[in-house]
Structure 1
Amino acid sequence: MQKKGFDNKKYLEEQSEAILKRAKKFGNKLYLEFGGKLSNDLHAARVLPGFDPNVKIKLLQKLADKCEIIICIYSGDIERKKIRQDFGLAYDTQILRDIDDLHAYGLTVRGVVITRYKDQPVVDIFKTKLQRRGIKVFTHHPIPGYPNDVDIITSQKGYGKNEFIQTERPIVVVTAPGGGSGKLGTCLSQVYHENLNGSQAGYAKFETFPIWNLPLNHPVNIAYEASTADLGDINEIDYFHLETYKKTAINYNRDIEIFPVVKKILVKIMGNDKVYQSPTDMGVNRAGFAIIDDIICQEAAIQEVIRRYFKYSCEYVVGNANKKTMKRIEQIMLGKLDLHAHDRKVVTPARNTAKLSEEQHKGHDGIYVGAALELKDGNIICGNNSSLMHASSAIILNAIKFLSDIPMKIDLISRNVLDSIRKMKIDILNTDKVSLNLEETLIALSISATANPTAEIAMDSLKQLRGCEMHMTHIASPGDEIGLRRLGINLTSDPQFASKNLFVS
Structure 2
Amino acid sequence: MNRVGFDTEEYLRQQTDAILRRMERFDNKLYIEFGGKLIFDYHAARVLPGFDPNVKMRLLERFKDQVEVIICIYAGDIERKKIRADFGITYDMDVLKLIDDLSERGITIGAVVITRFNDQPAAVMFKKRLEMRGVSVYTHRSTKGYPADADTIVSPDGYGANPHIKTERPIVVVTAPGPGSGKLATCLSQLYHEHQRGVRAGYAKFETFPVWNMPLKHPVNVAYEAATADIGDVNLIDHFHLEAYDERTVNYNRDLEAFPLLRRILEKITGESSLYRSPTDMGVNRIFFGITDDQAVRDASCQEVIRRYFRYSCDYQLGSVEREAVQRVGLLMEELEVKPEDRSVVVPAREAAKEGQAKGKGADGIFAGAALQLRDCRIVTGKNSNLFHAASSLILNAVKVLAGIPDGIDLLSVNVIESLAYLKKDVLGDKMLGLDLEETMTALSICATTNPVAAEAVEKLRELRGCEVHLSHIPSPGDENAFRKLGVNLTCEPCFASRCLFER
User: Which category of TM-score, normalised to the shorter sequence, fits these structures?
Assistant: over 0.9
1:493 aligns with 2:463: no
SS in 2 for 1:339: coil
| Structure 1 residue aligned with 2:253 | 253
Q: For each residue in 1:320-362, what CA deviation from the matched residue of structure 2 results, as whole angstroms up to 9, or x when unmatched?
A: 111221221111112x112211111111111111111101118
Aligned equivalents of 1:119 and 1:230: distance in 2?
27
SS in 2 for 1:69: strand
1:392 aligns with 2:388: no
| Structure 1 residue aligned with 2:416 | 417
Tell me if the contact between 2:363 and 2:386 (Cα under 8 Å) persists in the aligned partners.
Answer: no
Unaligned runs of 5+ in 1: none
- The alpha-carbon deviation at position 103 of structure 1 amounts to 0.5
SS in 1 for 2:475: coil
Q: For each residue in 1:375-394, what CA deviation from the matched residue of structure 2 results, as whole angstroms up to 9, or x when unmatched?
A: 11110001100111100010
Q: For each residue in 1:284-305, what CA deviation from the matched residue of structure 2 results, as whole angstroms up to 9, or x when unmatched?
A: 0111110011110000000000
Aligned equivalents of 1:93 and 1:475: distance in 2?
24
- The alpha-carbon deviation at position 149 of structure 1 amounts to 1.0
Aligned equivalents of 1:234 and 1:122: distance in 2?
32
SS in 2 for 1:25: coil
| Structure 2 residue aligned with 1:360 | 359
AA matched with 1:490: N
SS in 1 for 2:499: coil
Q: For each residue in 1:131-182, what CA deviation from the matched residue of structure 2 results, as whole angstroms up to 9, or x when unmatched?
A: 0000000011112221221000000000001010111111000000111100
- The alpha-carbon deviation at position 243 of structure 1 amounts to 0.9
Q: What pairs with 1:5-24 in structure 2 (closer than 5 Å)?
A: 5-24=5-24
Tell me if the contact between 2:471 and 2:492 (Cα under 8 Å) persists in the aligned partners.
Answer: yes
- The alpha-carbon deviation at position 503 of structure 1 amounts to 1.1
Change over 3 Å in CA distance of 1:8–1:364 after alignment to 2: closer
SS in 1 for 2:164: coil
Q: For each residue in 1:99-156, what CA deviation from the matched residue of structure 2 results, as whole angstroms up to 9, or x when unmatched?
A: 0111011110011001111122221111000000000000111122212210000000
Aligned equivalents of 1:443 and 1:122: distance in 2?
34
| Structure 2 residue aligned with 1:350 | 349
| Structure 2 residue aligned with 1:144 | 144
Q: For each residue in 1:237-277, what CA deviation from the matched residue of structure 2 results, as whole angstroms up to 9, or x when unmatched?
A: 11111111111111101101111111110000101111000
Aligned equivalents of 1:148 and 1:279: distance in 2?
19
| Structure 2 residue aligned with 1:470 | 469
Name whichever of 414-423 and 366-375 sits farther off.
414-423
Q: How many residues align?
A: 504
Change over 3 Å in CA distance of 1:157–1:255 after alignment to 2: same
| Structure 2 residue aligned with 1:55 | 55
Q: What pairs with 1:33-112 in structure 2 (closer than 5 Å)?
A: 33-112=33-112
1:201 aligns with 2:208: no
Aligned equivalents of 2:325 and 2:50: distance in 1?
30
SS in 1 for 2:118: coil
| Structure 1 residue aligned with 2:134 | 134
Change over 3 Å in CA distance of 1:239–1:392 after alignment to 2: same
1:458 aligns with 2:457: yes
Unaligned runs of 5+ in 2: none
| Structure 2 residue aligned with 1:373 | 372
What TM-score, normalized to structure 2?
0.98
Aligned equivalents of 1:326 and 1:364: distance in 2?
30
AA matched with 1:88: G
What TM-score, normalized to structure 1?
0.98
Aligned equivalents of 2:286 and 2:204: distance in 1?
13
| Structure 1 residue aligned with 2:325 | 325
RMSD: 1.2
- The alpha-carbon deviation at position 418 of structure 1 amounts to 1.0
Name whichever of 41-50 and 420-429 sits farther off.
420-429
Tell me if the contact between 2:438 and 2:482 (Cα under 8 Å) persists in the aligned partners.
Answer: yes
| Structure 2 residue aligned with 1:183 | 183
Aligned equivalents of 1:446 and 1:348: distance in 2?
31
Tell me if the contact between 2:364 and 2:499 (Cα under 8 Å) persists in the aligned partners.
Answer: no
